[in-house]
Amino acid sequence: MAEKEILPFGDPVLRKKAKPVEELTPKMLRILDDMVDTLYAEEGRAGLAAPQIGILRRMIVMDCGEGLIELINPEILEIQGEQIGPEACLSYPGFTGIVERADYVKIKTLTRSGEWMELEGHDYLARCIQHEIDHLNGILFIDHVKEGQLYREQTKQKADLIQALKLSLK
């Protein structure tokens, strides 16, 4: 198990759709373990999708304050409501954007042991789930940010959304 490098915005892998995990092999489980190590390598990290470490497989690890959650081939079954709030991304360090998301989400996912389960999330957990599933589909949080709602974390100054989007398409 090892911490992996997180791909920065502009890396073309972040814009590709991840493929389903066909079989939970020891290699896939090692990747999950590496993702967990990477997630917990620094404080304050909420979620990590496999494409962020260069692996185009539908796997996510998250800890949105309720303990470790591992998602394999997650599928959204239901969404309801709406919430508007700040989001950041490990692949976009230093930026925060205001994003509209569903307030409730219900998903189906494989567990590490290969069993299907359903998971429901409200509020922040719902936001985290949607953000990470977006990564599996080549969608980045800045794709949801409206002009004038992207900020530099350090200075709280507005950042140029158009420039950030251009950088993410390289």
Compute the distance between CA of residue 128 and CA of residue 31 in angstroms, rounded to an integer.
Answer: 20
Compute the distance between CA of residue 98 and CA of residue 112 in angstroms, rounded to an integer.
Answer: 33
Of 43, 78, 132, 153, the catalytic one is 132
Q: Write down the pLDDT at residue 153.
A: 78
Q: Give the single-character DSSP code of 76.
A: E
The answer to whether the annotation marks 122 as part of a ligand binding site is: no
Q: Give the single-character DSSP code of 156.
A: -
Q: Write down the pLDDT at residue 169.
A: 58
Q: Per-residue confidence of the chain (170 residues) as pLDDT tens digits?
A: 699 999 998 899 999 999 999 999 999 999 999 999 999 999 889 999 999 999 999 999 999 998 999 999 999 999 999 999 999 999 998 889 999 999 999 999 999 999 999 999 999 999 999 999 999 999 999 999 988 888 887 787 777 766 666 656 55
The answer to whether the annotation marks 131 as part of a ligand binding site is: yes
Note if 132 is an active site residue. yes
What are the residue ranges spanned by the domains of the chain? 12-168
Q: Write down the pLDDT at residue 16.
A: 98
The residue type at 31: I
Question: From the centroid of its chain, how far is CA 9?
Answer: 13
Q: Write down the pLDDT at residue 117.
A: 98
The CATH number of 12-168 is 3.90.45.10
